[in-house]
Chains A and B, each alone.
Chain A
Amino acid sequence: MLIPHPLLGLRDSQEFTYFGDASLMWRPDPEAPEAEAAFCEYVFLRDNPAGVHRELWFHEQGDRSWLVVTRDTTTHEILGAELASDVKGAAQ
């Protein structure tokens, strides 16, 4: 698989380390009253969709940036990649 890195162009997925669902970027608030349940869900439960999946890849053997890659889990087709910092910045 080739991942279209927004800064470096197409890079072999072998340079990356896979982390998991992109929702892992959004850590629950530890001060919230339901924090324990929220953390259980955050740590252990996944949507695990068959189809389009947004996921985190770390460019470990490259520029060490985190990417949010959009990929179809039924075909392995990569539909896009963004810098995780951009995704997080846009949301905040």
Chain B
Amino acid sequence: MKFSGFKVVKEALTGHKGWRPLWRNPDPKPAYDIVIVGGGGHGLATAFYLAKTFGALNVAVLEKGWIGSGNAGRNTTIIRSNYLLPGNQPFYEFSMKLWETLEQDTNFNSMVSQRGIINLIHTDGQRDAYRRRGNAMRLSGADARLLSRDELKKMVPFLNCDNARFPIKGGLMQPRAGTARHDGVVWGYARGADMRGVDIIQNCEVTGFRIEDGRVLGVETSKGFIGAKKVGVSVAGSSGRVMSMAGMRLPIESHALQAFVSEGLKPTIPGVITFGAGHFYVSQSDKGGLVFGGDIDGYNSYAQRGNLPVVEDVLEGGMALMPMIGRARLLRSWGGLVDMSMDGSPIIDKTDIDGLYFNGAWCYGGFKATPAAGYTFAHLLATDRPHETVTAFRFDRFNRGYVIDEKGVGAQPNLH
């Protein structure tokens, strides 16, 4: 079933009887060439690119719940490539380019909307830092614009530029950044992978790895043993729990990150705006709700929910930045699990166990990375070599001293 304008009109005229499920629900086969653990955006994107770009035919994705029910369904849907360091920025720009062609690649409306992101500047020192970041972004092929206070006021007049404590002095804008519809991304990749023969097996929890002589032979699951030549683990948030079943300790702590949405409002926020004097960022969904978030709760958690102090902190940030937010009612808040790594950057690498591969440690930046993480993880699984944009995302960077510490806070995961 291919989506097109013609198909929509035809179905509208014939009572919508021709729509079919977007993917099958097959029983697992006894063995596959490649098994992906985790049916989130990253796992499904990996399966999609394995089948589409690398020609892998015998692939399964195993998901404990339903696809997209973890962080893929809990994030704030921002896509951007405004990083600073050479190990990171080319990867995120690669991801941004894949976002730009995602809907054509998957033939699915993922509502990719390049409305721009503005990082606000509050001090002269911050302007210097953002100017440097903007230059680094442009060197990697991305776009960046330094906005003056007047330009900013024209674009987003509701900001409290004259806040006595945190006056706003300008912003760094990436016009190509924006948002995408999280479910649309998951469903697009799932459908595209399924059409190319990938088995997506839901309600199938991995309960252990079968490892003999340092080589992985498959996974034990709630639906029995499934053999595999290669196993790719893509379960960010639960990486610690899953990899401990393979006897591995990771440079990761699991933390809770909360997000919030207000009642639906008329269009008011043009793109994504981030507060530079606290941790608060906001965008407006296509339904009209203001979607916003802030810091992680800051202590190890697998609870998929946060606590009230961070709710207060995020809302204080919102009030300082744009007092009009106080007139909107908060509709929902929720929490997800994030892998906070020791340098705030991700890992896409082989493990010391033959045939076992790992993609995780995304901290709170996994959604924007979805297409490139999928592509590069598929590249690693198919060719056994890291893609050129992820050569820095290795396990051994920590003991070699090549950490990618964007924020410069060291091995203190709750500060990244």
Q: Which residues of A are interface residues toward B (Cβ below 8 A)?
A: 1, 13-14, 18-21, 37, 40-41, 43-51, 53, 55, 71, 73-76
Contact = CB atoms under 8 A, between A and B. Distances in A.
Contact of B309 (A14, A20, A41, A51): A14
Interface stretch (B47-55, B248-256, B271-279, B371-379): B248-256
B233 to A, nearest CB: 15
A73 B249 contact: no
Q: In terms of DSSP, what is the predominant structure of the interface of chain A?
A: mixed
Interface string B393-416: 000001100000000000111100
B251 A53 contact: no
B12 interface: no
Contacts of A47: 240, 244, 249
B348 interface: no
Contacts of A75: 303
B398 A40 contact: yes
B411 A74 contact: no
A48 B250 contact: yes
Contacts of B300: 20-21, 48, 53, 55, 73
Q: In terms of DSSP, what is the predominant structure of the interface of chain B?
A: mixed
B252 A50 contact: no
Contacts of A44: 251, 342, 398-399, 411
Contacts of B298: 18
Contacts of A37: 399
**Which of B298, B300, B398 lies at the interface centre, i.e. has the most chain A CB atoms within 10 A of its CB?**
B300
16 contacts: A13-B299, A40-B398, A43-B411, A44-B251, A44-B342, A44-B399, A46-B240, A47-B240, A47-B244, A48-B244, A48-B252, A49-B244, A71-B299, A74-B302, A76-B303, A76-B307
